[in-house]
Amino acid sequence: MGEITILGLGPGSFGLLTVEALDKLQQAEPLLLRTAKHPTVKELVKRGIRFESYDQVYEKKATFEEVYETIAADVLARAATAKQLVYAVPGSPLVAEKTVAIIREKAAAQGVNVSILAGMSFLEVLYSRLGIDPIDGLTIVDGCDMAAVPADTNHGLVVTQVYNNQIASEVKLSLMERYPDDFAVTVVRNLGIEGEEIKTIPLYQLDRLPVIDHLTSLYVPHLPLTGRRFTMDPLLDVMARLRSPGGCVWDLEQTHQSLRRYIVEEVYEVLEAIDRQDPEQLCEELGDLLLQIVFHARIAEEGGIFSMQDVIDGVTGKMLRRHPHVFGDITVRDAAEVVLNWEAIKKREKAGERLSVLDGVPAGLPSLMRANKLQVKAAKVGFDWDNIAPVWEKIKEELAELKDAVERGDNVEIEAEMGDVLFAVVNLGRFLQVEGETALNVTNNKFIRRFSYIEQYVQKQGLAWETLSLQELDALWNRAKVLENAKNQ
């Protein structure tokens, strides 16, 4: 069986090479260097230590993947006949060394024993120079493998082996997908040796530096949450996986029609979180609502109708068109004029699509909300009272008609008159600038809170509902009301 000792030459100067590593280098038969382009190599030559390097492989192969595979294969092949083969790499063998990873992965299958001799990596020097504590979190990647950077990185990032301007350009473009173009990054070169350079620059300048070589690395500090670029890719990928063959059976069966109820439910859960002034719940419920939007977009994309990008582009274009006072050269005096402009632009855009003044109010809206929107549309063409006084009278009139229908016992007429009362109350809310659907939702939640107080009281006291009179329950209701009002003061 062959045997390989893999050791690190340290981060730079000969003084950072361990005594044990030097002893192994002197005894090696043969000594193979991944690259001779390392400051320590000059000292090896002075001490008469003979070696071979793989620098020529870099010149012959088209990609770094091919370079690494070729080097690893040769080291493993030569181990079968070597006496004390030592493979030496810059820094530490276990820090950003692809050839070492390949050798370790294939060694067992080829009957080769591998021992690792730890060495000091350039990271220790980097920590010292930049004042970084890795306990705060640090991701280390090879400049040739930026795809390895986690999508949700929320701590510092070190990019090693930024060999040349081409790699620097690829690293820059990859990072600019998640960091601002002018985000401050630190370029380090010749760490721990003569000519050491540490320079902080905007990210977009990375590939414009005068000198970039094999001793160049990059430190990208933690990006605060407020400064991060967000991406919908993770959610889009999850939905695509759920809807793909072999995905989730339930998700695959869904259609636009079957999902209608869920998007309505999610909207109301968002409203509940807003009413409760619960930011954590609001964040969660907005995510659930967004999931429904992505779900519908995915179904449409599978049918070749539109994609999520079309949804985003469409609403972005609409916002740009309808805010000419922000994105154009129009000026406005106040918010009211903004609304007028919005409606005028909207009317022009929808010309020919809507034949009736009332077109554009979805039939599937909750009834109170739909009533409000119908009234607003009618009011825009003058079908409205000038003041609130007639609205009060209309409510009295509708209540009288409802009472008359009840006295006559006409169930069909009772339903119709009840609807008229509700429609009139919604109109009153419009004059008071109170949206009926929202107001009723607030009252529903208030009823739940107060009834829950009664329910908890009955349970704690070991009482039975049937033994309590309406007067006793009403007293508990009033107590809940008092306690709630006191809490809100």
56 and 156 assigned to the same domain? no
81 and 160 assigned to the same domain? no
pLDDT score, position 82: 84
Identify whether 338 is part of a domain. Answer: no
Distance CA 479, CA 259 (A): 42
For the whole prediction, is pTM greater than 0.85? no
7 and 113 assigned to the same domain? yes
Q: Measuring CA to CA, how many Å separate 365 from each of 287, 362, 371?
A: 22, 6, 9
Peptide bond into 279 cis (omega under 30): no
Q: What is the CATH number of the domain that holds 237?
A: 1.10.287.1080
Q: What is the CATH number of the domain that holds 136?
A: 3.30.950.10
88 and 135 assigned to the same domain? no
pLDDT score, position 95: 81
77 and 50 assigned to the same domain? yes
Domain that holds residue 481: 438-488
350, 351, 354, 360: CA torsion to nearest 10: 20
Distance CA 193, CA 216 (A): 12
Domain boundary among 120, 143, 171: 120
Low-confidence ranges of the chain (pLDDT < 50): 227
pLDDT score, position 121: 79
149 and 209 assigned to the same domain? yes
The pairing of beta strand 184-189 with beta strand 197-202: antiparallel
Identify whether 8 is part of a domain. Answer: yes
Residue 91 sits at φ, ψ, to 5 deg, of: 70, -130
pLDDT score, position 352: 57
Identify whether 340 is part of a domain. Answer: no
pLDDT score, position 441: 83
Mean of the per-residue pLDDT values for the chain?
A: 86
pLDDT score, position 424: 93
